[in-house]
Structure formats: C-alpha cells, structure tokens
Amino acid sequence: MKNIFLIITTFFAISCKAQTFPLRSFSDLPVNSYEKDTNNELPDYEGTWKGIWNNKAIYVTLKKITNKYDNTFKYYRDYLIAKFKVTDLNGLVLFDNTNLSDDHAKIKGGGFRKIDDKYSLIYIDMDLCERSGDILIHFTDATKTKLQWHYSQDENFIEPDCFYYNYAPQDYPQPLPKNIVLTKQ
C-alpha cells in the first residue's frame, strides 16, 4: 500500500509541473507558468558592451536571469538584467552600479516586442530621485557584436527633498545615453 501511495504521489508531483511558454508568447500567461527562453535567444546579449557618447564611456553588462518569479505578473520567467558603469574619458567614474546584487539591478528586461522584435528593458534609479525610462536594444549586425541602444527617459516629477530639485532639467545627471551603438567586449 505504501508503494502505491508513493507511486501516485510521484506521478501527481510530476504532472503538476508548470506550463512552459516561449519568450515570444505575446498573450497573458497563466499564474505560476514559466516564460522560458526556449529558443536560447538571451545568451547572445550576455556580456559586457561598450560605447562612447558626450565624452563619456559606458560599460553595460547584460546577464540572463533564469526561472525567476515575477510578483507583478505571477509567473516565472527568463529575462535580462543590466548593470552599468559610466566614466569620463580620463577614467573618472561618474556612475557605477555594477556591484549591486542581481535582485537590485536598476535595469530589468521586459521582453521582446511583437511590433519590431526589439528587446525592451526598464530603468529605475532610486539613487537619482527615481529617474526612470524605457530602453530598447537590438543587434545591428549578423555577428551580434553591435547592439543598438535607445533610451527614452520618462518625465519624472522631482520631489522637493531630491538633491537635484532646484537644478534646471538640462543640469540633471545623465547616466544613460539616449541613442548609441554598443560594441561587445
């Protein structure tokens, strides 16, 4: 009797495995399902990417996160995170969040867009008065060594207790470039 119970329990546990959907499942997913990188697309983005803009260098490190539960959508998913370091051309560090844990990365992936096949990410920086925006990335060459980056900054309301409250908008810190082609390092 114990063996029958064990067999039934094992069978039930195996059959209760969450449904798996590919990254490009452009529909609502069931609770506790898994949006998985079934086509192994995200590893091409992983690594360190470099670009130069406005006399600054940016180093963006992209990393694939696997099978992480998303509290907002209530399902598991694979996605990219990004950490970055910005220096002036003399090497002075202007921004650096590369030492943050993966759970606290300021840039997190949303997924591939159906309309144009670009990968979207969201940037939220609590250290810069909740500065936020959307980032779109896509490869510009067949070898996948050049990455087009487009950042659209949100219109942020700056609270009076923010360090930059009395600054003119053009004087706010600019940690990310608007448009740049990054090269894989």
Domains of the chain and any CATH numbers: 2-184 (2.40.128)
Q: How confident is the model at residue 102 (pLDDT cuts 50, 70, 90)?
A: very high
- If one compares 170 and 148, the residue with the highest pLDDT of the two is 148
Structure-token match 């051309």, residue found = 89
Q: How many CB atoms neighbour CB 146 within 10 A?
A: 16
pLDDT interval class at 3 (50, 70, 90): low
Q: Please give the single-letter amino acid code of residue 101.
A: S
Report how far apart, in Å, the C-alpha atoms of 89 and of each of 104, 120, 144, 158, 169 are.
28, 28, 26, 29, 24
Percentage of residues of the chain with pLDDT beyond 90: 71
Q: Classify 105 in phi/psi space as left (phi over 0), alpha (psi -120 to 50) or beta.
A: beta
Instruction: Quickly list H helices, the chain.
Output: 2-15
pLDDT tens per residue, range 107-119? 999 999 999 999 9
> Which backbone phi and psi does 110 adopt, to 5 degrees?
-100, -40
pTM across the whole model? 0.86
